[in-house]
């Protein structure tokens, strides 16, 4: 709601004759917190109690949103862009805080579902906010800011009522603490997630830029072509978020990353072979969907394999890498396309996806390798029928990892059984 309200004021009300330059200034302002505030956001998520950051951050958001009314009344663009920038800085911090709080709210085996639902709800809320703001802006744009501020205050109150400890407040001021945080980046699963998401996002950014300009050249769509590309990319991202949980439940994590790169290579190759507006947009949808499947998988991998005291800084680093990769990919594609042509750059992206798939296939992901079972059927039956008791002090992941007749260990997820929902204070029978 606030973004649409500020866009109405900055792009149209205060600058009706030069919306292009205002739009470019807005992009510059938006890119700064996206790329450079991530590490700072991670530090805040570790240094301070996350629940206090969420409640206090929403109240500051409410104040800044109400301050946007002054922009429309003062007719000062500079105040508007400063307000927009501060809101984005705060949004980036709160995004990292929320993402690092999810492991405290769901079990480890439910992280993929938690991340997927969180992203789906945020996208749906964004669409709803734009629709509501568009209706209110017809009457008076200041109503948009007032309603948004009231909802920020309500959100702050809801965060305050959470009874679960969300973590944070553990960072000391010594060098060793930061050395330990950096050491977490050497975890093989974390490195694999950073490389796969960063490489995929880099190529996706290049493809977005190339396809938008190719559509403009082939079909003279001008601004409509750019809107179409980013519109269908958003649709593909949403579909990828919806399908991520099902895909990751049935496909091992490493295979998800490899298949995402391979499918993207095929979809981009289809754009080169078929001279069609529909084929170009379809290829972008598939590439965005495949990347989102990989991104949700990697988000959960980082959240579940990093110590909670350092999760904010590690997750922020991972987030900054793939966002920066997207911008660099788009810039590189635009600069190369001016010299060699955007079709050739798109062909390079197609080959790049194929190379990324091969690299991810042979790279170590940190997942356990399948082992051959050399026991006789009688021995296996004897082991499966034996049980042992696990007390309420046992680590919950071990207590939940029971044998239910299916082999899921090599998929990178914990095995789900009916015993996982047993009361925490009662001893539990767990199959060996």
State whether residue 432 is helix, strand or coil.
coil
Q: Which domain holds residue 422?
A: 377-431
Read off the pLDDT of residues 117-150 as tens digits, 9 standing for 90 and up: 998 998 889 888 888 888 888 888 888 889 999 9
Read off the pLDDT of residues 57-82 as tens digits, 9 standing for 90 and up: 999 999 988 887 877 676 667 777 77
Nearest-angstrom CA–CA distance, 186 and 189: 9
Tell me how crowded residue 97 is: count the other CB atoms within 10 A of its CB: 27
Q: What is the DSSP string of 188-256?
A: HHHHHHHHHHHHHHHHHHHHHHHHHHHHHHHH--THHHHHHHHHHHHHHHHHHHHHHHHHHHHS-HHHH
Same domain assignment for residues 158 and 65? yes
- Going by C-alpha positions, the residue among 313, 310, 207 that lies closest to residue 265 is 207
Confidence of residue 424 (pLDDT cuts 50, 70, 90): very low
Residue ending a domain, among 133, 167, 201, is 167
Confidence of residue 324 (pLDDT cuts 50, 70, 90): confident
Q: What is the DSSP string of 138-166?
A: HH-HHHHHHHHHHHHHHHHHHHHT--S--
Question: To the nearest whole number, what is the mean pLDDT of the chain?
Answer: 78
Same domain assignment for residues 12 and 160? yes
Q: Kindly state whether residue 183 falls inside one of the protein's structural domains.
A: no
Same domain assignment for residues 297 and 396? no
Q: What is the per-residue pLDDT for 353?
A: 96
Same domain assignment for residues 67 and 157? yes
Confidence of residue 323 (pLDDT cuts 50, 70, 90): confident
The dihedral through the CA atoms of 99, 104, 106, 112 has a sign that is: positive
Same domain assignment for residues 135 and 51? yes
Q: What is the per-residue pLDDT for 265?
A: 95
- Going by C-alpha positions, the residue among 216, 223, 209, 198 that lies closest to residue 332 is 209
Neighbour-count burial for 235-263, b at 16+ CB within 10 Å, e otherwise: ebbbbbbbebbebbeebbbbbbbbbbbbb
Q: What is the per-residue pLDDT for 195?
A: 94
Confidence of residue 181 (pLDDT cuts 50, 70, 90): confident
Same domain assignment for residues 398 and 348? no
Residue ending a domain, among 167, 201, 232, is 167
Q: Report the range of poorest mean pLDDT among 28-42, 160-174, 351-365, 375-389.
A: 375-389
Same domain assignment for residues 423 and 345? no
Return the percentage of the chain with pLDDT > 70, whole number: 73
Same domain assignment for residues 287 and 399? no
**Position 194 pLDDT exceeds 80:** yes
| Domain count across the chain | 3
Q: Report the range of poorest mean pLDDT among 47-51, 149-153, 376-380, 413-417.
A: 413-417
Read off the pLDDT of residues 211-236 as tens digits, 9 standing for 90 and up: 877 776 666 555 555 667 777 888 89
Confidence of residue 381 (pLDDT cuts 50, 70, 90): very low
Same domain assignment for residues 145 and 294? no
Same domain assignment for residues 143 and 219? no
């Amino acid at each position: 709601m606030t973004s649409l309200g500020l866009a109405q004021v900055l792009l149209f009300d205060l600058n009706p004759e030069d919306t292009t330059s205002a739009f470019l200034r807005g992009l510059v302002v938006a890119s700064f917190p996206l790329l450079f505030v991530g590490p700072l956001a991670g530090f805040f998520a570790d240094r301070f109690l996350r629940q206090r950051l969420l409640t206090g951050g929403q109240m500051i958001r409410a104040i800044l949103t109400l301050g946007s009314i002054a922009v429309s009344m003062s007719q000062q663009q500079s105040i508007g862009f400063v307000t927009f920038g501060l809101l984005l800085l705060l949004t980036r911090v709160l995004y990292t805080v929320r993402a690092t709080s999810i492991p405290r709210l769901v079990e480890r085996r439910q992280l993929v579902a938690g991340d997927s639902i969180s992203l789906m709800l945020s996208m749906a809320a964004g669409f709803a906010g734009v629709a509501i703001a568009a209706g209110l802006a017809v009457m008076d744009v200041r109503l948009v800011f007032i309603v948004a501020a009231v909802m920020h205050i309500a959100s702050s109150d809801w965060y305050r009522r959470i009874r679960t400890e969300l973590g944070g407040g553990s960072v000391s001021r010594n060098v060793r603490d930061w050395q330990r945080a950096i050491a977490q980046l050497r975890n093989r699963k974390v490195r694999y997630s950073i490389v796969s998401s960063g490489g995929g996002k880099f190529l996706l950014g290049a493809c977005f830029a190339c396809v938008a300009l190719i559509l403009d050249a082939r079909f003279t769509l001008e601004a409509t072509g750019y809107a179409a590309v980013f519109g269908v990319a958003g649709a593909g991202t949403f579909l990828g978020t919806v399908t991520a949980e099902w895909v990751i439940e049935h496909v091992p994590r490493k295979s998800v990353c490899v298949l995402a790169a391979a499918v993207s290579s095929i979809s981009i190759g289809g754009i080169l072979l078929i001279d069609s507006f529909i084929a170009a947009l379809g290829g972008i949808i598939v590439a965005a969907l495949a990347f989102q499947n990989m991104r949700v998988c990697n988000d959960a991998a980082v959240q579940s394999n990093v110590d909670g005291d350092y999760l904010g800084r590690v997750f922020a680093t991972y987030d900054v890498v793939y966002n920066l990769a997207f911008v660099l990919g788009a810039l590189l594609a635009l600069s190369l396309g001016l010299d060699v042509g955007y079709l050739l750059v798109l062909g390079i992206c197609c080959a790049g996806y194929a190379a990324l798939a091969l690299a991810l296939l042979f790279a170590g992901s940190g997942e356990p390798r399948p082992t051959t079972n050399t026991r006789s059927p009688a021995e296996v039956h004897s082991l499966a029928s034996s049980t042992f008791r696990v007390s309420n002090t046992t680590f919950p992941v071990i207590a939940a990892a029971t044998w239910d007749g299916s082999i899921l260990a090599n998929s990178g997820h914990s095995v789900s059984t009916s015993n996982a929902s047993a009361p925490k204070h009662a001893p539990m029978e767990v199959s060996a």
